[in-house]
Amino acid sequence: MLWFSVAVVAGIALLVWSADRFVDGASATANHLGLSSLFIGMVVIGFGTSAPEMIVSALAALDGAPALALGNAYGSNIANLALILGCTAAMAPIVMQSQVVRREIPVLIAVSFASLLLLLDKELSRYDAILLLGVFVSYVVWAYTSAKTGGRDELGKEIEKELPRMSLGGGLFWLLIGLALLMASSKLLVWGAVGIASALGVSDLVIGLTILAVGTSLPELASSIIAARKNEHDIALGNIIGSNMFNTLAVVGIAGAIKPATVPAELLTRDMPVMLLLTCGLILLAVRGRNHREISRGEGGILLAAFAGYTSWLLLTL
């Protein structure tokens, strides 16, 4: 039990560090290849911070723990919307002004509901996985096309200031090293999490929804808080939206493509409804005013309380 716990702590620490290096390398490489700053911010950085979820879920599927993979993906979405958005707003109210971000919130809601409908038969088949990955590729193409035709707005200029300054060689180096360390730390984390679940008699789903979900969401927490403290509110919110899109489509899709899985009933009746409720709450915050949309500190506190209540619910139903 002790070594499993050490593996989890060490795995999370190395995972966060390597994810940061991976995102820096990916952003620098994409910048040198001439991709727009808006596309880098919304897709490369937003999805790049979800690399831990992708690697962890893929390895969990390979190791025969599909519930761990699903719990990690959907649990990370809940953590992003309640814990991370709540912490960020509590530190600095998030003003939502960008047309780009407001446009993508309804897309996230549609994707979240589609994911639930796809899993209602309690099976994540390879057909389901391919469908999710197909939608993901379509979304990336749409985001890239929109970023190119939309020009460099204020959001794009702010994102460009945050891009790491390094050569193409340096970007490729950290891209590859970061990816290798991501895989190693994810393997260590999955091994420790499965060991703890077995020792405590807890389901893989609950471990995925708690320890893995929070641990793999730490890159989003760090980047969102830093962005919000610099008054780059749309980057903070865009990172969370992009991450949840990636988790729902790519992370679940990759896990299902590796190994089809039976979907736990409690995921459909407990966890996904919570995720959908939080996602719909996001659109309510975004459209409540005409010129001024803000997630206040008080609303950030409500989101944190919601996450605490959800986590307590999980622990009480063990």
Confirm if 5 and 197 have CB atoms less than 8 A apart.
Answer: no
Confirm if 276 and 112 have CB atoms less than 8 A apart.
Answer: yes
Confirm if 192 and 211 have CB atoms less than 8 A apart.
Answer: no
pLDDT digits (tens, 9 = 90+) for 255-272: 999 999 899 999 999 999
Angle of helix 2-32 versus helix 168-200 axis, rounded to 10 = 160
For residue 65, the model assigns a pLDDT of 83
Confirm if 87 and 225 have CB atoms less than 8 A apart.
Answer: yes
CA distance 14 to 295: 32
Confirm if 61 and 258 have CB atoms less than 8 A apart.
Answer: yes
Q: Where does the chain have alpha helices with state H? A: 2-32, 37-39, 46-48, 51-62, 66-78, 85-91, 99-119, 126-150, 154-162, 168-200, 204-207, 213-216, 218-229, 233-246, 252-258, 265-266, 272-287, 297-316
For residue 199, the model assigns a pLDDT of 82
Token pair of 190 as six digits: 């999955």
Angle of helix 126-150 versus helix 233-246 axis, rounded to 10 = 150
All domains of the chain in start order, with CATH: 37-153+193-316 (1.20.1420.30)
CA distance 153 to 172: 28
CA distance 7 to 204: 16
Would the pLDDT of 143 be above 60?
yes
DSSP 8-state assignment for residue 263: P
Report which residue type is found at 32: H
pLDDT digits (tens, 9 = 90+) for 178-204: 778 877 887 787 788 778 877 878 888
Confirm if 206 and 318 have CB atoms less than 8 A apart.
Answer: yes
Give the residue from 139, 127, 155 showing the smallest Cα distance to 257.
127
- pLDDT confidence band for 113 (50 / 70 / 90): very high
Would the pLDDT of 23 be above 60?
yes
Report which residue type is found at 118: L
- The most confident of 75-79, 226-230, 233-237, by mean pLDDT: 75-79
Confirm if 250 and 49 have CB atoms less than 8 A apart.
Answer: no
Gyration radius from the chain CA atoms: 18
